[in-house]
A and B are shown apart, each in its own frame.
Chain A
Amino acid sequence: MGYILNQLLNGICQGSIYALMAIGYSVIVGVVGMVTFAYGEVMMIGAFSAYYIFIYVGNNLPLAILAAFAGSFIIGIVIYKLCYERFFTAPRHISLLCTIGISMLLKNLAQIVFGPETKPVLNVVSNKTFNINVFGSTLNIRLLQIVIIVLVIVLAAALTLFFNRTKYGIMLRAVSQNKDASYLMGINVKRTALLGNCIGCGFGGIAGILLGIYYFSVSATMGSAYSMKAFAASVLGGLVDIRFSALGGLCIGIIENLGIVFTAATFRDIFAFAFLILVLIFRPQGFVSKKGARV
């Protein structure tokens, strides 16, 4: 029992990082209206920005998170200019291929600039473990897991507030729902889309460094595996809905980890994608119940 609970906790922790990735992803898809395959590399850039903070400034987590956000935010501008701005009216596969190109570019450039080897991210959060008694069995919660889960919740809440309470947030939502109507309402659609893309990338960057802290390492090739996860999670949530995307990420994290309990770690990715396809067969639009806002 305690064992299953521990695995569930692993799943929730990993799922919350997936949720953060999915949130960023769905913000991008929402405001830009196109998917991206460069998201994994955006996360990698965020992770490396934070890594260099750890190296040169010390283990300062808030500063590192800020750096991760900023690093990915800037890459977001580049991606927007290269892949989206020109191709808003073009068929979707063109910008898709551009993001594939960007992904290849960043991954290989990173291997040259940062080096091909895995870099250690050690002792950022102390290895403290709390033993909690739940229904007679012990649950080992790591301080790191608490930090990650709390951080993700805070960030998600902040983004929700931003979307609901600020002018820019409302503009972003308007663009996400209907570009033409927003244009008619006097919103600068291109600039808003740029902002949305960058915010989404920034969230990806934070997710990147959280992965780095959780697995104690960052590397230039870390992105590709998670790019697919973020994509799948946000498709589960209906692609553009932030709350449901977060739920999708959480589900994938939990299912993966529970799947490993009953089978082997080599099957990990099967669970995520099989679950996704099952959901899509019965609910082609993901968890989202309302129609409309299709991409």
Chain B
Amino acid sequence: MQKIKDFYNKYKVIILLVLFVIMAVIPFLGIETLYIRYMCNIMMYATLAGSLNAINGYSGQMCLGQAGFFAIGAYTGAALSKNFGVSFWLLLLVGGLLAMLIGFLVSLPTLRLSGIYLSITTLGASEIIRIIAQTWTPVTGGTMGIKQIPYPEFFGLDMFRPQYYYYIFLFLLVLFLFVTNRVLKSRVGRAWMSIREDQIAAKSLGVETSFYKSTNFMYGAFWAGVIGVAYAPFVNFIDSTQFTTDVGFNVLAMVVLGGQGTLVGPILGAAVVTILTEALRFLESWRYVIYALLLIAMMWGRPQGLVGASKSMLAGGKIKVKEDKAKAKAEGGSAK
């Protein structure tokens, strides 16, 4: 593992470039459309899970309401582009900012709360957003939802094929990773992580915890909103049932499976979850039974996620000890 890491650090630019080129040419390889659509799903969920990870993984607040922010982006995008013909690219920003505003409002009561109280409040907020979407018929279409959402246009190209849409999601994912990486390495990111590891210590060292917790929430909500805007035309039809708490749980599962508090984790988690649920389709009604069993098995096998950090507080004390032993063994073994 360490070798892989060293190798990566050494040829970072080349590896990233090669990866990017591979990703960029995939739609030209003549892969069947359905699989391109799955790729789109993976990249979309990877960004969404990443936005949740920005909250849960980096400031240690446990948000369960990501489906709500996602919904705000989706509905903003759908309603404005359908009724007023606003450009998709502008809407990405508008939807993100609106979700950020709601994120700010949700963060206000949660600043005083912690642990499970914060979780239930975000969950409640997400449910309220969903029910507003379900009942505010003039704007959201109520239970009828919004249909025939205009597809984005790119210099006159109507991007309705999944092959085109692929690039939108790829662009958003890369942008998200780039920006998040910069933010995490900045003062703000360090403040978030200090809150995660020990809030009281952070406070005593002069970190404005309320301010940073709030910005953290807004940052996560912003990206959930952005990806929501992109999601709406992709499925072409949205209604409130697409934003239930189950969706939020699913995204949480991706984050935790992949590894909280890492940039790659949510991508891997999104890929594993999406591939698993699609690949298990042949099991018909047994599909989710097997998926649930695998989920629990993975939690037993690797509680900190596939690429999770074992040294952070996120991994927990007991596991850390075990992991350290394993590490010692592994190092002993690799010395041969």
Contact = CB atoms under 8 A, between A and B. Distances in A.
Interface of A: 35, 37, 82-83, 86-87, 89-94, 97-98, 100-102, 104-105, 107-109, 111-112, 224, 228, 231-232, 235, 239, 264, 266-267, 269-270, 273-274, 276-277, 280-281, 284-285, 294-295
Given A267-B131, A276-B124, A93 B288 contact: no
Interface stretch (B90-98, B181-189, B248-256): B248-256
B135 interface: yes
Nearest to B313: A91
A291 B315 CA distance: 28
24 contacts: A35-B119, A83-B296, A87-B303, A89-B318, A92-B116, A94-B303, A97-B295, A101-B295, A101-B296, A101-B299, A104-B288, A104-B291, A112-B285, A112-B286, A112-B289, A228-B123, A231-B123, A266-B131, A267-B131, A273-B127, A276-B120, A277-B125, A280-B117, A281-B109
B54 interface: no
A92 B285 contact: no
Interface in B275-318: 285-289, 291-293, 295-296, 299-300, 303, 313-318
Given A97-B253, A98-B296, A273 B128 contact: yes
Among B62, B252, B292, residue most surrounded by chain A Cβ atoms (within 10 Å): B292
A232 B135 contact: no
B66 interface: no
B132 interface: yes
B296 A93 contact: no
Contacts of A93: 56, 62, 252, 256, 260
B85 interface: no
Given A94-B303, A231-B120, A273-B124, A266 B135 contact: yes
Contacts of B123: 228, 231
Given A108-B288, A108-B289, A267-B135, A235 B245 contact: no
Contact of A280 (B62, B113, B313, B316): B113
Contacts of B296: 82-83, 98, 101-102, 105
Contacts of B319: 90
Contacts of A98: 296, 299
Contacts of A112: 285-286, 289
B36 to A, nearest CB: 28
A105 B109 CA distance: 34
A97 B308 CA distance: 15
